[in-house]
Structure 1
């Protein structure tokens, strides 16, 4: 039976949940960029076909995010989180077993469904680790969970090059699948320490809260389309610019390390302090700045590393900001549903972005496709500024910000 966590066990529990984020985004979503050049060369794909793989994954992600609350209500959010993590690990293993485009797209689609459920429910569980905590501490725990994405990016940056140098892209998927199976253990230990939510998880949300969050929903669509286009094709651009496997792997590791460091030291605190759409707008602006070095500066390692450091420091702050906004604006029984709806918006953007960017890349080069990211992220920042702070009167006191000076 779960019992209240000590302040020492709270961060350890968040780290255990972060194993789900390692697999859901670090491996299943972002590592594809590292494997894409080898897969595209071996399987003779166009950029549109390559982007179509991520579109299949994002389409599954939309379905997974949209049904996450159903699975939470049917099996309990803790069991659904661990079970979908296990299925995600299986899809990674199976991806290593085929070269058929349709089968690969199907696996990416199924993986999108399960990783979305894992990520949404993991976010809601992380938000519930310290339900009665001050908003800033709660934001830090959410950020700790989100840091798992950066950890996954770092691990993939270390595993994939080794795989490409020995057994090829299939070995890369296989290694990540094996690590994902291992990740089930800390995730299982973590969920056992989180108490069930008081009251049944709700699939319906207050209309006034949804209306007030409309700019955030629009921002998340644009942000998802913009950032994932870069993450899908930036390694392909770097390879076109002459960087080899070691250099692109270094780029990925720096990106992941920047994500972990900034998520833990900056964004967890900052998103707890900023109000309204300030955090989403700032995140979008910094991610945009992170795209520019590989497009504007002379091709080479300095531009790649600068891009990795700036982009990596901000891109996972988007989901952190969205989760914190949901936590502030909704009752605890609605957190999973609110995060799920926001993730659907995020996923819609991620479904469209890579396909459009791939089409532009086929006609004008990868750099042209990446300029789409710049435009989408600029629009996202402007839309986010329209979000106003929302202070619902119906929320229980434990989800409201504590008085100044509270710990």
Structure 2
């Protein structure tokens, strides 16, 4: 009976994590993308303001990544996560009333803050309650919410838009509130962690420092690599390839399907192949898919490439978490600190990359392939950094 109860409690905790990532990131960030043209057409805001308001969520995400641990220490992770889901729901309701650009910016910023806090705290609150052999799959299930949100942005949002712009924002608010209520009692109680003490902890930290630095660098490069097609896929298909907005919407749905498959697939692979091997394979798949997007015009090939590319944004966090747990085994306190730092690095790099790609896009006269090339180069640097680490490690081992 205890085993059954433990499994049920674990399942409830994972469900809560999935709901949080769906509300705070999947819907709060990605549901905004298909709303951009209708908001302009409905004269809610001019085009330049809509782009500016979209960036508010990324800025808020960075702020949230920095606030996650302080909020957890002061109020507890359960209370902080519940509050962030409520805040996201309120932001959706507030955005149904475009009183001014400033009003809208504040609520988009706050929805980004919620997403950043959720990214830092959700997995670290749930995974301590999951058996070690299932952490990869559990982590994938938590971040599956991001993929579901991306898929909904291509399916549910267009259906809501048929009713009206205000009804769309209100509908997203109702959905977020229902998910918040459904997960309210499912959050597990915090597992109290304490900083390790003594010489053994110092030795472990020194031995892991280089691997952690590599993890930070590679996580940042992953952010640079995923941004181009996350931002410009729809525009590339519609205008770059000249296939029109209907075909572009279809590609975004395929991207969303990939986003739903990625977290669970990569999490499953991580449990069986190991986090490092899965990360390596995932990066090679992404490079191949981006190259196909750059040079192929075959419809089916581009669909398959889009499916693989869509798996990457929500697939990166669970793999990075699995690598982190391997570097700092059994040190929950250290894992939480490093995950918070890694999320901050990712958020900052993603925001800077977004602005950088936008500038490069404008300066290149709207050349999507240049952006994809930069993204592929960032991904290739991940592979090269792994090779460099192995080469540098050989002389070190030989000298020991």
TM-score (norm 1): 0.81
Shift of 1:101: 4.3
Q: Between Structure 1 and Structure 2, whose CA radius of gyration is higher?
A: 2
Say whether residues 1:231 and 2:227 are aligned partners: no
**Residue 345 of structure 1: how far off its partner (Å):** 1.0
Aligned to 2:324: 326
- SS of the residue corresponding to residue 191 of structure 2 reads coil
**C-alpha distance after superposition, 1:274-325 (max 9, x if no partner):** 45744333333323333344432227x5355223311123332210111112
2:148 equivalent to 1:146: no
Q: 1:178 aligns with which of 144, 151, 174?
A: 174
Deviation at 1:150, TM superposition (A): 1.1
Q: Is the 8 A contact 2:238 2:247 kept in 1?
A: no
Alignment of 1:109-120 (within 5 A): 109-120=109-120
Aligned CA RMSD, in angstroms, stands at 3.1
94 and 210 in structure 1: CA distance in 2 versus 1, 3 angstrom threshold: farther
Runs of 5+ unmatched residues, structure 1? 389-407
Partner of residue 351, structure 1: 351
Report the Cα offset of residue 65 of structure 1.
1.0
1:97: Cα distance to partner?
2.1
Which residue pairs with 2:267 in the alignment? 268
Q: Is the 8 A contact 1:288 1:311 kept in 2?
A: no
Hey, what does 1:33 align to over in structure 2? 33
Alpha carbons of structure 1 residues 6 and 267: separation in structure 2 relative to 1, 3 Å: same
Does 2:164 align with 1:162? no
Output the CA distance in 2 between the equivalents of 1:109 and 1:384: 36
Q: Is the 8 A contact 1:50 1:358 kept in 2?
A: no
Counterpart position of 2:381: 379
**Contact 1:64-1:116 at 8 Å conserved across structures:** yes
Q: SS of the residue aligned with 1:198?
A: coil
The change in CA–CA distance for 1:211 and 1:294 in structure 2 (over 3 A counts) is closer
> What's 1:82 paired with?
82
Aligned partner of 2:190 among 193, 196, 201 = 196
The correspondence for 1:306, drawn from 298, 304, 307, is 304
Q: TM-score, normalised by structure 2?
A: 0.82
Cα distance change, pair 287–175 in 1 and its aligned pair in 2 (3 A): farther
Is the Cα contact below 8 Å between 2:125 and 2:190 reproduced in 1?
no
Q: Secondary structure at the match of 1:315?
A: helix
Shift of 1:247: 3.6
CA distance in 2, matches of 1:5, 1:211: 40
More helix by share: 2
For 2:385 and 2:17, how far apart are their aligned partners in 1? 31
Q: In structure 1, what is the equivalent of residue 398 of structure 2?
A: none
Q: What is the CA–CA distance in structure 1 between the aligned matches of 2:37 and 2:285, rounded to whole Å?
A: 27
* Conserved? CA contact 1:127–1:327, under 8 Å: no
Unaligned runs of 5+ in 2: 391-400
Contact 1:216 1:277 in 2 (8 A): no
Alpha-carbon separation, structure 1, partners of 2:176 and 2:386: 34
- The count of aligned residue pairs is 376
Higher relative contact order, chain-length normalized (CA < 8 Å, sep 6+): 1
